[in-house]
Structure 1
Amino acid sequence: MPAAHGERTDSVSHTAGTTTTATTATAASPTQAGAKLTAQEKRWIVYDVGNSAFVLLSTAVVPIYANSLLEAAGQDNIVSTWGYAQTIASLVIAVLMPLLGSIADVQGMKVKFFCGFFGTGVVMCCAMALPLSWLPFLVVYVLATIGLNGSLTFYDSMLIDTTTNERMDRVSSHGYGWGYIGSTVPFLVCIALIFGGPALLGLDTAFCTRMSFLITAVWWAVFTIPLLTSYRQKHYRATRDQLGSAVRGTFRELGATFGKIVRNKPLWMFMIAFFFYIDAVNTVITMSTSYGTQLGLDSTQLVIALLVTQFVAFPCAIAYGRLAGRFGAKVMILIAVVAYMCIVFFAAFFLRSEVQFWILAILVGMFQGGIQALSRSYYGKLIPKDHANEYYGFYDIFGKTASIIGTFLVATTTTLTGNASIGVLSIAILLVLALVFLLLQKDPTRR
């Protein structure tokens, strides 16, 4: 398949002692950078529409449903239990992704690994609809989350095959933006079923909630089809007949890649900053509903507030991509980190009512999509394209390990102090550290 912008050129590199073929795309012109989205870019974007439905359900509905299962079993601390579940899922991804990512850089392998994790996520999402007790349910949920996050690692690295450096900020932001707004469609159907099913159809609330998991799985699968039927891996480090040599050299490659990262000061400084600030972002996302539930806030209000977040996040994520084109991705990331510091302090000291949770949800929506999208695209500009999956594997080590620390920190602090607000406040330390590394890093993408 020809490149969306510019001509495709072939180059030869040496990977793990084996001659391998890599492909690169020429840079887009300024006119191309501002052109309309191509068909391939749109097909890449719609996967965000599909998987974001599960992310939204996991943020709003799953914690409340899990809480009901915990209460039925005599358990009462959902914050710590939910935090440990998220920690386990993140740990598995952090361990697996660098190894699998290195193998997936082989020609034709990236889409196969993507399908494996995506399929696992969808099947486990369906399995969540079974009438399970709290522990089996959390186990299935953890497997579904591993499937989601694993697929996202390969999906993120597909960005460099889909567009050019000049268009990455814009395309990545559109992915998050349309993901936010598109995920509200199945979510509204699920919420209507959960709240309207018992009164209008005489169905049990728990049954309606489980059916929402099936609806989400179908939506996720349908919006993955355009990407699966059109994606072509343009950047790679080996051909299929060299797969054996590439696999044998994987561990050597991981060590070599780590060495290259260490020698690339702008890259490793950004990765450390990313480690700290994405910790805060992911922790706020995964723990917000459980935190509000433990504070005694009404579950209906929590769900509606999080739905509003999606509508706020859609235009803000798109706007962030446009602003990055003018001011640079790093500047916009810095602004978002400062904003998250304010959000954490607000949650720790002022969040006590439904109205305040609404304010928190709107603030999160304004910056959440932007910082995630620009982190993905900014990193893609800093790394070699023919080893993208391998580098994105390390990107996931930093992102998922940070999630482990964040959720574990909140869960443990809450357990030890008996005060969830103190656990939330601890996130501010990580944001300060991120800000320091970002300010010290020199941005190689700015001339």
Structure 2
Amino acid sequence: MNESKIKLTKLEKYWILYDVGNSAFILLVSTIIPIYFKNIAMSNGISAANSTAYWSYAISISTLVVAILGPILGTLADTKGYKKPLFILFLMLGVLGCAALSLPFSWIAFLTVFVFAKVGISGSFIFYDSMLSDITTDDKMDYLSSLGYAWGYIGSCIPFTISLILILFADKLNISTTFATSIAFILNSAWWFIITIPLLRNYNQIHYIEVKKHAMMKAFKRLWDVFKDIKNQKEIFTYLLAFFFYIDGVYTIIEMATSYGKDVGIGDNDLLLALLLTQVVAFPFAIIFGRLSKKFKTKNLINVCIIGYFLIALFALQLDKTWEFWFLAVCVAIFQGGIQAFSRSYFAKIIPKEKSSEYFGLYDIFGKGASFIGALLMGISTQISGNSKTGVAFIGVMFIIGFIVFQRAVKIGSTKN
């Protein structure tokens, strides 16, 4: 299909809008929130290394919660009439959690509220990603998935830029930096919710399993059947294993970039502006990768992205200058949208559509499990060595393992087909 002739339906556009909405919070998680937390923690006598470790542990806890709940909720969501309500539940947990971060908490309470907000957004992705098979067709999945990330990157820049102006020019506005940051949290939560309204009003579940009663009990039984059956679906299982390893590095880099940059001496303003640049650069490259999916096989594009991220991890090991962080931010932007979009669409195409939420629940286990381990390794290695660079070395190894296992998954898939 020629991408120039692709016309998106209204529902496909509304689905993309959720990426635009939630990306505002995701950008906060990788920029303003960790800086704000580290400043609170360090003002209470906590060292830079320990504050990075505590931030890592908070991310690990939130991802572990979703990894445990994901497959259960995903399986339940495949039941007729359940996907949208569950999506709304986790959406509101994330939105309200983001807004609640504006309250004057201690550093421990702030981390606790952050965990709830992070569980909300991560849980919503289980249902949002699985909507892909209801929203579009197989031949448009790569392109639509890429567009979601692309518009998410550039769209999130709107509330983020306003937030950044408030924080950087707080003195000139005669408000404190703390108050400016509180306004930013409320602004981004409102943006997230309002942008999502069109999807909430128009989405209807098409692929589902009909269950007239005892939906929860039957969901557990279906989940057990999926776990038993997954060992016989070698392509899906091997792909999930590969995804676990390589996405570990991706998520950890996204979530820990600001803390890592601050530890190696990058100033707050440079951190925020460099990561804003990441969003701007990621927008055209996500679209470029979407178009490349019409000319090259998805597996080859995933390979390119994994290799790109491995080289990024190697470069980060010696990072100690501001310009290097800016350069790293651009490099991350080039591959970030592609690897996330193609991972999502590749998986959506190899699983049974009527069980999409069940399988995306498993997808979330492997993705969130990877994020949990990556952040945990980063935290532990940083506390033991007193240097964040030790954790980056672990990330590089994960990319190597992920690349090797992915080749095996592709081979199994080609043999089956």
With the shorter chain as reference, the TM-score category is over 0.9
* C-alpha distance in 2 between matches for 1:55 and 1:404: 16
Shift of 1:243: 3.8
Shift of 1:31: 7.0
Structure 1 segment 276-425 matched on structure 2, within 5 A: 276-349=245-318, 351-425=319-393
1:79 is aligned to: 52
Q: Which amino acid aligns with 1:123?
A: L
1:269 equivalent to 2:244? Answer no
The 8 Å contact of residues 3 and 294 in structure 2, kept in 1 or not, is answered as: no
The 8 Å contact of residues 59 and 115 in structure 2, kept in 1 or not, is answered as: yes
The 8 Å contact of residues 34 and 167 in structure 1, kept in 2 or not, is answered as: no
| Cα distance per residue 1:375-423 (max 9 Å; x no partner) | 1111000100011101000000000000110000111111111121111
Q: Secondary structure at the match of 1:426?
A: helix
* C-alpha distance in 1 between matches for 2:2 and 2:84: 30
Q: Secondary structure at the match of 1:129?
A: coil
State TM-score, norm by structure 1.
Answer: 0.90
* C-alpha distance in 2 between matches for 1:37 and 1:253: 34
Unaligned runs of 5+ in 2: none
2:105 is aligned to: 132
**% of aligned pairs identical?**
44
| Cα distance per residue 1:349-397 (max 9 Å; x no partner) | 2x11110000000000000111001111110001000111010000000
| Cα distance per residue 1:254-311 (max 9 Å; x no partner) | 1211232211111111110000011000000000000011112111001000000001
Shift of 1:339: 0.6
1:141 equivalent to 2:114? Answer yes
2:161 is aligned to: 188
The 8 Å contact of residues 381 and 445 in structure 1, kept in 2 or not, is answered as: no
* C-alpha distance in 2 between matches for 1:271 and 1:92: 19
* C-alpha distance in 1 between matches for 2:257 and 2:235: 32
Q: Secondary structure at the match of 1:197?
A: coil
Equivalent residue in structure 2 for 1:221, among 176, 193, 200: 193
Shift of 1:442: 2.8
Q: Secondary structure at the match of 1:355?
A: helix
1:6 is aligned to: none
Q: Secondary structure at the match of 2:317?
A: helix
The 1:445/1:107 distance shift into structure 2, 3 A limit, reads farther
Q: Which amino acid aligns with 2:201?
A: T
The 8 Å contact of residues 41 and 162 in structure 1, kept in 2 or not, is answered as: yes
Shift of 1:34: 5.0
| Cα distance per residue 1:191-237 (max 9 Å; x no partner) | 000111222x2101111011100000010011100100100100001
1:109 equivalent to 2:82? Answer yes
Q: Secondary structure at the match of 2:229?
A: helix
1:48 equivalent to 2:19? Answer yes
* C-alpha distance in 2 between matches for 1:280 and 1:75: 27
The 8 Å contact of residues 98 and 394 in structure 1, kept in 2 or not, is answered as: yes
Q: Secondary structure at the match of 1:173?
A: helix
Shift of 1:32: 9.5
Unaligned runs of 5+ in 1: 1-29
State TM-score, norm by structure 2.
Answer: 0.97
Structure 1 segment 58-69 matched on structure 2, within 5 A: 58-69=29-40
* C-alpha distance in 1 between matches for 2:331 and 2:44: 35
1:212 is aligned to: 184
Shift of 1:137: 0.5
| Cα distance per residue 1:131-185 (max 9 Å; x no partner) | 1110000100110010000111110001110000110000000000000000000
The 8 Å contact of residues 308 and 362 in structure 1, kept in 2 or not, is answered as: yes
Q: Which amino acid aligns with 1:65?
A: Y
**Which one has the largest radius of gyration?**
1
Which one is further off, 371-380 or 74-83?
A: 74-83
* C-alpha distance in 2 between matches for 1:329 and 1:108: 32
1:251 equivalent to 2:220? Answer yes
* C-alpha distance in 2 between matches for 1:135 and 1:56: 22
1:234 is aligned to: 206
| Cα distance per residue 1:98-132 (max 9 Å; x no partner) | 01111111111100000000011111111100011
| Cα distance per residue 1:3-23 (max 9 Å; x no partner) | xxxxxxxxxxxxxxxxxxxxx
CA RMSD between the two structures: 1.4
Q: Which amino acid aligns with 1:284?
A: I
* C-alpha distance in 1 between matches for 2:374 and 2:210: 37
Aligned length: 413
